[in-house]
C-alpha cells in the first residue's frame, strides 16, 4: 500500500512567496483535492509532490508497505496527467506508449496498449501521428500513458482540461475505479472534481 506524506512544504519563486506550511498524509483509497484561485500554486504543488520541482523547504516522502522510497524511484509509483505535459508528436499513439514502456524500463505489453487506446476512444487512430490529434485526443492519450504501468497513485492536474463530455465521463469512471485500490491527487477549481475528493487543500487559505 502506498502512502504519501508532505511535511511543512514551502515554495518561493525568488522573493515571491507561493505557499508555506503544507502538510498532509495520503493513503490508498483516498482522493486529495488541491484547489485555489488562478496563480495560487496548484500546479506548483503537484509538481513538488511528483518530484518534478523542488520545494524551498520541507519534503515529500513516499512509502510502499511502510518502506521508504528514495526520490529517484518515486516515478514508478505514480501516473501524472496535466495540460502542460508533452507527448512525442512525431510518433503515433501506439509508438508513444511503446516508448514510455522503454523509458520506464518495463516490458512492452501490446494487449494493454490496445486496451487503453480502445478505452479512450483512440484505437482507430492508433497509427496516426500525435501531431495530427486534437487537444482533446492528446489529453486522452496522456491518460493512457499515465495508466499504462498500473500506478498506485494518479496525479491529475486539471483533469477535465480539453476533454469533451464523453472524455470527462471516461476519466470519472477511471477515478472511481482507481480509488477502490489506489490513491489520487486532483488539482482543480471545478466543483464536480472537488466532489470526488474526501480531503481538500484550499490554497486560498494557506499562509504564504
Please write the tens of the pLDDT for every residue from 172-204. Answer: 999 999 999 999 999 999 999 999 999 999 999
What pLDDT shows up at residue 71? 87
Report the alpha-carbon distance of residue 31 to residue 61 in Å, rounded.
Answer: 17
**What are the start-end ranges of the H helices in 50-157?**
93-103, 110-119, 135-147
- Hey, is 155 helix, strand or coil? strand
- Percent of the chain beyond pLDDT 90? 97
Confidence at residue 20, expressed as pLDDT on a 0 to 100 scale: 96
Q: What's the pLDDT tens digit per position in 118-172?
A: 999 999 999 999 999 999 999 999 999 999 999 999 999 999 999 999 999 999 9
Bridge partner residues of 15 (DSSP): none
Which residues lie closer than 8 Å to 108 by C-beta, 6 or more apart? 98, 101, 102
Give the pLDDT band (50/70/90) at residue 54: very high
Is the per-residue pLDDT at 3 higher than 90?
yes
Domains of the chain, with CATH numbers?
Answer: 2-205 (3.40.50.300)
Is the pLDDT at 207 greater than 90, yes or no? no
58-71, pLDDT tens digit by residue?
999 999 999 999 98
> What residues are paired with 62 via a beta bridge?
4, 69
Helix (H) or strand (E) holding 60: strand 57-64
Q: Is the pLDDT of residue 44 over 90?
A: yes
- For residue 103, the SS3 value is helix
The residue ranges of DSSP E strands in 89-192, in sequence order, are 153-157, 183-187
Q: Are strands 78-81 and 153-157 parallel, antiparallel or unpaired?
A: parallel
Amino acid at each position: 500500500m502506498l502512502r504519501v506524506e508532505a511535511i511543512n512544504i514551502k515554495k518561493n519563486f525568488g522573493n515571491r512567496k507561493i505557499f508555506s506550511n503544507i502538510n498532509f498524509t495520503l493513503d490508498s483509497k483516498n482522493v486529495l483535492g488541491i484547489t485555489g484561485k488562478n496563480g495560487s500554486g496548484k500546479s506548483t504543488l503537484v509538481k513538488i509532490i511528483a518530484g518534478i520541482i523542488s520545494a524551498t523547504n520541507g519534503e515529500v516522502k513516499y512509502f510502499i508497505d511502510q518502506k521508504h522510497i528514495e526520490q529517484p524511484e518515486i516515478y514508478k509509483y505514480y501516473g501524472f496527467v496535466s495540460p502542460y505535459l508533452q507527448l512525442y508528436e512525431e510518433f503515433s499513439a501506439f509508438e508513444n506508449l511503446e516508448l514510455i514502456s522503454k523509458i520506464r524500463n518495463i516490458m512492452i505489453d501490446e494487449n494493454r496498449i490496445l486496451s487503453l487506446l480502445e478505452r479512450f476512444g483512440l484505437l482507430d487512430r492508433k497509427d496516426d501521428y500525435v501531431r495530427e490529434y486534437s487537444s482533446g485526443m492528446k489529453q486522452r492519450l496522456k491518460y493512457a500513458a499515465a495508466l499504462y504501468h498500473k500506478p498506485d497513485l494518479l496525479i491529475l492536474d486539471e483533469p477535465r482540461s480539453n476533454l469533451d463530455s464523453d472524455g470527462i465521463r471516461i476519466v470519472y469512471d477511471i477515478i472511481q475505479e482507481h480509488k477502490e485500490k489506489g490513491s489520487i491527487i486532483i488539482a482543480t477549481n471545478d466543483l464536480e472534481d472537488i466532489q470526488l475528493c474526501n480531503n481538500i487543500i484550499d490554497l486560498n487559505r494557506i499562509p504564504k
